Amino acid sequence: MKTSERPAQHRSRVTIAAVVITLALVAGACSKKSDDGATAGTTASGASTPVSSATGGTTPSTEPAPKPVPGGKLVVSGEAEVSSPWTPAAMQCDSYCFQRAKSFFDPVAVFGADLKVHPYLAESITPNAAFTEWTVKVRSGINFTDGTPVNADAIIRNLQDSGTGLLISKALGDVAKIPSAADPTKMELKIVKLDDLSFTVFTGKNGDATQPLPWPGFAGAFTTQWALVASPKWLDEVKADASKATQPVGSGPFIVQSYTPRDTLIVKRNPNYWQKDANGVQLPYLDEIDFKVIEDSQVAEEALKKGEIDIFSTSANAVIKDFRDVAKDFPMNEQTKFVETNYLLIDQDKAGPTQDARVRCALSKAINRQELIDLVGNGIGTIANGVFSPGQQGYLADNGFDPAQDLVGAQKLIDEYKAATGATTIAVTYGHTATALGDQTAELLKGYWAKIGVTTTVNVVPQDKFITNALLGDAGFYIYGWRQHAGITVDGQNYWWNSRTAAKDGQGISLNFSRINDPIVDDNLATARSNPDEAARTAAAENINRQFAKMCYQIPTSYAIWGTPHSPKVQGLGQTVLPDGAASSDDVGASGQFWLNAIWLKQ
């Protein structure tokens, strides 16, 4: 989940998360190294756990990679600062937040280039026959950078803290809950420790431990923010002193040296990291990474060209176009599969005309999407007909949504709304972050809507408030330019669209940012989660797509493209090999992110 400077901009992921769990969950070339080249501490015998039958993914490069040279400092930039850093239970994450967090926290599992879930801190993740119990075996011999062990107790502690916290708990509605042993007045996830290195997580319909719920795709939850693992010792220190939250301790490839909000996070190489490359060289290769915050991608573009930074990711089409034209000087990986959609996020709970589908659909019909792409994106981009991008489960070339501009049809809907309600004027509020491209988009939207008699107030929202405002239903949150919903299966979007994760404005955290409350959507989400028949799950996803098109809950504009331009000295991008020997992926529900383990600098 992530904000952008483009027509539809929000982070998107929970990535959940990606808040958080995609966790919201794209394509650098990957080179897969053989298992027999792995060294101790590099691979394990745990088999990967498939969570999707989707096909596609990144094709590993067949060209031999040059020999990495350890050392050096990499300077990275991203467009957003994180809110509530850095405990996994509290981070309000967009894509760049996850990028940084994964430099010092390891996850339980990750997606690979084969679109399957692969164990990471876990050695294996195994369901029972009914997919209601999931047993995790933890790799042995791994320590946090404070010297404490990564074991079943440590991971269970993290899963409980994050899974019962305000931010992530609603995303785990179908994980079984039981009274806490420490405090029976409180509920905790039903997780049973089997031994020092293994435990089982149980499902339960709406959290009811007496109603185990089949959940074939549950392994994907272990790739999300819920399953980022921090040192329990450090978590205790944070409880005693909240200021220590900005000094995170994990088991990842780097150690946090300093953090200055809205400026720079500096991480240093973890000399005792548990992974090595196929030649036995200690990972990571880099000595240091400086993560900077540059909110405007056009500013980041100039910084890269001046040598002030080495690499950044952007979904700004105008910037991507610029770097396509200078590919020899600044190579760029493009992420185009399972991508996010740029769209207008509408708060369905906000009193006013946008509670009515006729007004929402009128606003949608009034937009000239190709003009948006041409003027704001330098002609780069594909018109979107919904938040299901091509390749995703549920995508339909014809879902009933017509993306063509139709001012006559839009005006008819506005007139119908006025006749039915007695309204004489219609006014809406549109919010975006402070970028030049965001300003341009806002002015275009304002002009389109003026043609059908709708008055638009434009609010510029600080980047670090954008997600928070949507989560809490801020008084100024009506329509935001947004970008989200990368991924493979519709089950990965469940918590974004389910009515049980929709809190009313001002009454708690709502992962369902749009506050969609639709029984048709809910019923099909339930089918997509638990039906054992893949065809039935896909049909349910398609039903959701059609319902969104009919009700105009979101106003899609274009499918996002991500580019990662970089200095030619940056090597190894997209070439990380996972602990089990499988090829990693930068393009499965992780828009704008890239692995740091295998990056090195050519001197």
Query: What residues form DSSP beta bridges with 458?
Result: 430
Whether residue 405 lies inside any domain: the answer is: yes
- Assign 12 a pLDDT band (cuts: 50, 70, 90): very low
**Each residue of 374-432: pLDDT tens digit?**
999 889 889 999 999 998 999 999 999 999 999 999 999 999 999 999 999 999 999 99
Q: Is 211 inside a domain boundary?
A: no
Instruction: Tell me if 471 is assigned to some domain.
Output: yes
Residue 31 CB neighbours (<10 A): 18
Is 539 contained in some domain? yes
Residue 435 placed within a domain: yes
0.85 surpassed by pTM: no
In a domain, 509, yes or no: yes
DSSP element (H, E) containing 284: none
pLDDT digit string, tens, across residues 78-125: 988 898 999 999 998 888 999 999 999 999 999 998 989 999 999 999
Q: How confident is the model at residue 62, as a pLDDT?
A: 55
Residues 6+ positions from 115 with CB-CB distance below 8 Å:
52, 54, 55, 56, 57, 488, 585, 588
Q: Is residue 15 pLDDT above 50, yes or no? A: no
Task: Write down the pLDDT at residue 586.
Answer: 76
Between the alpha carbon of residue 197 and those of residues 151, 193, 248, 252, 586, the distances in Å are 5, 8, 23, 19, 29
Q: How many domains does the chain have?
A: 1
Give the structural domain span for 536.
341-559
Q: 8 burial class (0-12, 13-18, 19+ CB within 10 angstroms)?
A: buried
Per-residue confidence band for 587, with pLDDT thresholds at 50, 70 and 90 = low
Is residue 206 left, alpha or beta, with left meaning phi > 0 and alpha meaning psi from -120 to 50?
left
* Helices 369-376, 436-450: crossing angle, 10 deg rounding: 150
In a domain, 499, yes or no: yes
Q: Give the number of other Cβ atoms within 10 Å of residue 60's Cβ.
A: 20
CATH of the domain at 355: 3.10.105.10
- Report the b/e string of 138-155 with b at 16+ CB within 10 A: bbeebbbbeebbbbbbbb
Three-class SS state of 469: helix
Give 119-170 pLDDT, tens digit per residue.
999 999 999 999 999 999 999 999 999 999 999 999 999 999 999 998 899 8
Mean pLDDT (the chain, rounded) = 89
Q: Where does the pLDDT of residue 8 fall: very low under 50, low under 70, confident under 90, or very high at 90 and above?
A: very low
- Tens of pLDDT, residue by residue over 31-63, are 222 222 222 233 222 333 333 223 333 344 456
Q: What pLDDT is recorded for position 65?
A: 61
In a domain, 541, yes or no: yes
Return the pLDDT at 45. 27
Model pLDDT for residues 274-311, shown as the tens digit of each residue:
999 999 999 999 999 999 999 899 999 999 999 999 99
**Spatial contact of 27 and 58, defined as CB atoms under 8 Å apart:** yes
Residue 21 has what pLDDT?
Answer: 33
Write down the pLDDT at residue 337: 78
